[in-house]
């Protein structure tokens, strides 16, 4: 897979990198090209749990090694986005030689101009300034549940869902569904009362609770992971464990409740309430 | 002197009892978090939900022997027996609470599976326990800690509100209260001889492990090469896992993902090697050769 001589590239890249990190915030320095090793590449794809059903987008795809490994080693399809036209040509040639030309594509484009909506996995090895500039675009274009794997440099505010350290740092982020706001809850716990689930959200972190008859039940252990949402309500000495999926303005799933190891199970759902009902 | 210690000890226990009574009456029933929310909390759950959570977090089954340290009115053990099918022993200093526990156990029809002992915790042998439950004061927890760490690897300890100092819980959940689970780690600090079959031929390396409770790190020493670190090293009860990077051949660089079980100075298990979704599996084994790295 390696075509070029490695050492001079790294030296050049390190020099560029030193210059870039010193003034990354103010200068629009392109990310230097530092090829990942085979182990690095594999760890990124493994952390994202890539399967043949996935479409892997590599942002700044260099000589194409990540996209090619995703296709060759994991059976996925892949798209590489790269600003350097020579590297795009080289990637296409490398893919053909690895026998995965049919399943991958390399686009000569600025990553900010690229359409990322088809991605189920995004990989990137970019400088911090660029990663943070990309965050709004990723959150706007990627569907909930899309996995983002960053190598070494992650987002400033968004905490990783998982972090792995094997020689280098690998950070996994799962694009969270949007759950903030007020939801009308239908579940066995309501017993005919009106339950308004109020959630506040910061990336995958969720807090809030249920307003009912002038009172409030806090939601414990509330989390969102992709489209999956879960939280626990407690009333009258009983815990109600909610788990479900968020689909646009609806959530639904299973609530388990009772005491001891054999819990009862029922369906629950929630519908987004009028925006005016949400908390300030 | 002995008398003084005993007096102090009784005092600690009366504070514990007082706290328990507070809890029963709901006086301490403030929400554990969410204090910043501008709502009153009109639904005050009783701690039974916390008892359930402790037993669930410890994954108590009918095969478990639960020891409840400071068993109060017996509710934890009675719940463990009645709802989870476990057996167990409760230990408390207060005679009237022991009598009440026995009465409660009769009412719940679990007298066959539980017993309550009026006994000093620090003179109690709990090596028989597969699960320890406790709700004591921080100072008492810390005094018990050496005995807890000496239990059989894999023994689960659950408590709420008060922790075990710098021995971090393996799991912590907040449902009404902070409920914490610790899994007694195997003792693996020291030097091990690691034997593994690599594609280039069988290898024997020295592996040095450092340990603080369940947190471990370490290095593998190979002649003429800088030491290689253990990555993602984790220890849970008697299960150990870590990753080594095999970069002897740069073009064929691959991570080796080790998983194994520790028993009587031997670790053994399987490791996966290679890239992509077709990794190969190999056996590995390590034997203890020294205690200090």
Residues B141-171: pLDDT tens digits? 999 999 999 999 999 999 988 899 999 999 9
Gap from A113 CA to chain B (nearest CA, Å) = 30
Tell me the C-alpha distance between A107 and A248, whole Å. Answer: 31
Tell me the C-alpha distance between A156 and B292, whole Å. Answer: 40
pLDDT grade, residue A1 (50/70/90)?
very low
- Look at residue A202 in the predicted model and tell me its pLDDT: 95
Each residue's pLDDT tens digit, A130-167: 999 999 999 999 999 999 999 999 999 999 999 999 98
Q: How many residue pairs bridge chain A and chain B with CB atoms within 8 Å of each other?
A: 108
- Look at residue B203 in the predicted model and tell me its pLDDT: 85
- Look at residue B290 in the predicted model and tell me its pLDDT: 78
Q: Which residue has the tokens 């960053």?
A: A150
N- to C-terminal Cα separation, chain B:
41
Tell me the C-alpha distance between B222 and B230, whole Å. Answer: 13
Of B31, B83, B277, the CB nearest to A73: B277
Q: Strand pairing of A147-151 and A168-174?
A: antiparallel
Share of chain B above pLDDT 70, in %: 82
Of B34, B41, B42, the CB nearest to A207: B34
Share of chain B above pLDDT 90, in %: 61
Give A115 or A276, the one with higher predicted confidence.
A115
Mean pLDDT, all residues of chain A: 87
- The reply to whether residue B37 touches residue A209, judged by beta carbons under 8 angstroms, is yes
pLDDT grade, residue B277 (50/70/90)?
confident
Give A2 or A111, the one with higher predicted confidence.
A111
Chain B interface with A: residues with Cβ < 8 Å: 31, 33-34, 37, 39-43, 45-46, 48-49, 52-53, 55-56, 60-61, 79, 82-84, 173-176, 231-232, 243, 245, 247, 250-255, 275-278
Interface probe for A, chosen from B36, B48, B50, B52 (most Cβ of A below 10 Å), is B52
Which residues on adjacent β-strands are paired with residue B261? Answer: B239, B268
- Look at residue A142 in the predicted model and tell me its pLDDT: 98
Candidate from A178-192, B16-30, B139-153, B168-182 with smallest mean pLDDT: B16-30
DSSP label at A126? -
- Look at residue A144 in the predicted model and tell me its pLDDT: 97
- Look at residue B140 in the predicted model and tell me its pLDDT: 87
Q: What is the DSSP string of A75-88?
A: --EEEEEES-HHHH
Gap from A82 CA to chain B (nearest CA, Å) = 24
- Look at residue A32 in the predicted model and tell me its pLDDT: 64
B180 and B171 Cβ atoms separated by less than 8 Å: yes
Can you list the positions of beta strands (E) in A74-156? 77-82, 104-108, 121-124, 147-151
Closest to B194 (Cα-Cα) out of B265, B289, B287 = B287
Mean pLDDT of A108-117: 97
Gap from B278 CA to chain A (nearest CA, Å) = 8
N- to C-terminal Cα separation, chain A:
54
Structure tokens, A38: 């085979």
Which residues on adjacent β-strands are paired with residue A232? Answer: A220, A241
Interface probe for A, chosen from B30, B38, B49, B217 (most Cβ of A below 10 Å), is B49
- The reply to whether residue A261 touches residue B84, judged by beta carbons under 8 angstroms, is yes
pLDDT grade, residue B124 (50/70/90)?
very high
- The reply to whether residue A37 touches residue B31, judged by beta carbons under 8 angstroms, is no
Interface probe for B, chosen from A237, A258, A280 (most Cβ of B below 10 Å), is A237
Tell me the C-alpha distance between B70 and B19, whole Å. Answer: 12
Residue A24 has pLDDT above 80, yes or no: no
Task: Using only the alpha carbons of chain A, give its radius of gyration.
Answer: 23
- Listed in sequence order, the residues at least 6 apart from A50 whose beta carbon sits closer than 8 Å to its beta carbon are A56, A70, A74, A76, A121
- Look at residue A34 in the predicted model and tell me its pLDDT: 67
Which residues on adjacent β-strands are paired with residue B218? Answer: B209
Residue A276 has pLDDT above 70, yes or no: no
- Look at residue A33 in the predicted model and tell me its pLDDT: 67
Residue B202 has pLDDT above 90, yes or no: no
- The reply to whether residue A39 touches residue B31, judged by beta carbons under 8 angstroms, is no
- The reply to whether residue B231 touches residue A167, judged by beta carbons under 8 angstroms, is yes
Structure tokens, A67: 């996209």
Structure tokens, A144: 């909930």
- Look at residue B28 in the predicted model and tell me its pLDDT: 36
- The reply to whether residue B43 touches residue A236, judged by beta carbons under 8 angstroms, is yes
Residue A277 has pLDDT above 90, yes or no: no
Of B40, B175, B276, the CB nearest to A239: B175
The residue of chain B nearest to residue A259, with distances taken between CA atoms, is B52
pLDDT grade, residue A279 (50/70/90)?
very low
Give A108 or A7, the one with higher predicted confidence.
A108
Task: Using only the alpha carbons of chain B, give its radius of gyration.
Answer: 24
- The reply to whether residue B276 touches residue A74, judged by beta carbons under 8 angstroms, is yes
- Look at residue B222 in the predicted model and tell me its pLDDT: 82
Which residues on adjacent β-strands are paired with residue B198? Answer: B201
């Amino acid at each position: 897979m390696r075509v070029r001589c490695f050492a001079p590239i790294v030296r050049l890249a390190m020099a560029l990198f030193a210059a870039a990190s010193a003034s990354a915030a103010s200068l629009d320095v392109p990310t230097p090209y530092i090829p990942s090793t085979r182990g690095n590449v594999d760890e990124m794809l493994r952390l994202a749990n890539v399967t043949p059903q996935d479409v892997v987008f590599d942002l700044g795809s260099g000589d194409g090694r990540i996209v090619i490994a995703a296709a060759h080693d994991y059976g996925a399809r892949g798209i590489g986005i790269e600003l350097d036209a020579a590297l795009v040509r080289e990637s296409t040639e490398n893919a053909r030689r690895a026998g995965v030309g049919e399943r991958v594509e390399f686009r000569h484009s600025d990553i900010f101009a690229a359409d990322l909506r088809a991605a189920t996995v995004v990989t990137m090895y970019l400088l911090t300034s660029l990663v943070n500039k990309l965050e709004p675009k990723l959150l706007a274009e990627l569907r909930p549940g899309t996995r983002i794997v960053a190598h070494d440099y992650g987002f400033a505010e968004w905490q990783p869902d998982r972090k792995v350290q094997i020689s280098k740092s690998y950070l996994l982020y799962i694009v969270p569904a949007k759950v903030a706001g007020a939801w009308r809850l239908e579940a066995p716990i309501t017993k005919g009362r009106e339950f308004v689930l109020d959630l506040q959200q910061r990336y995958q972190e969720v807090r809030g609770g249920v307003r009912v008859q002038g009172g409030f039940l806090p939601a414990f252990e509330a989390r969102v992971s992709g489209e999956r949402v879960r939280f626990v309500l407690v009333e009258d000495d009983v815990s109600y464990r909610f788990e479900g999926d968020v689909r646009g303005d609806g959530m639904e799933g299973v609530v388990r409740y009772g005491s001891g190891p054999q819990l009862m199970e029922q369906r629950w759902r929630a519908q987004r309430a009028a925006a005016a009902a949400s908390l300030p | 002197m002995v008398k003084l210690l005993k007096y102090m000890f009784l005092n600690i226990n009366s504070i514990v009892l007082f706290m328990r009574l507070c809890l029963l009456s709901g006086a301490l029933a403030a929400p554990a978090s969410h204090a910043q929310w501008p709502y009153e909390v009109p639904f005050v759950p009783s701690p039974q939900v916390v008892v359930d959570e402790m037993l669930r977090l410890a994954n108590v089954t009918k095969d478990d022997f639960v020891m409840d340290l400071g068993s109060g009115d017996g509710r934890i053990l009675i719940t463990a027996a009645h709802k989870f099918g476990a057996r167990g022993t409760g230990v408390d200093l207060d005679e009237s609470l022991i009598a009440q526990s026995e009465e409660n156990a009769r009412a719940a029809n679990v007298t066959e599976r539980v017993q309550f002992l009026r006994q000093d915790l620090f003179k109690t042998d709990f090596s028989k326990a597969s699960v320890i439950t406790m709700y004591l004061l921080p100072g008492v927890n810390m005094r018990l800690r050496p005995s807890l760490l000496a239990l059989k690897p894999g023994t689960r300890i659950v408590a709420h509100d008060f922790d075990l100092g710098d021995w971090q819980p393996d799991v912590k959940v907040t449902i009404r209260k902070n409920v914490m689970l610790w899994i007694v780690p195997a003792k693996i600090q020291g030097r091990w001889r690691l034997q593994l079959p690599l594609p280039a031929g069988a290898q024997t390396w020295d592996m040095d492990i450092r340990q603080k409770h369940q947190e471990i790190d370490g290095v593998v020493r190979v002649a003429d090469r800088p030491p290689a670190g253990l990555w993602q090293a984790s220890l849970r009860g008697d299960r150990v896992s870590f990753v080594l990077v095999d970069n002897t051949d740069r073009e064929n660089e691959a991570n080796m993902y080790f998983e194994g079980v520790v028993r009587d100075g031997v670790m053994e298990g399987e490791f996966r090697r290679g890239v992509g979704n077709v990794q190969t599996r190999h056996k590995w084994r390590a034997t203890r050769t020294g205690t200090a790295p």
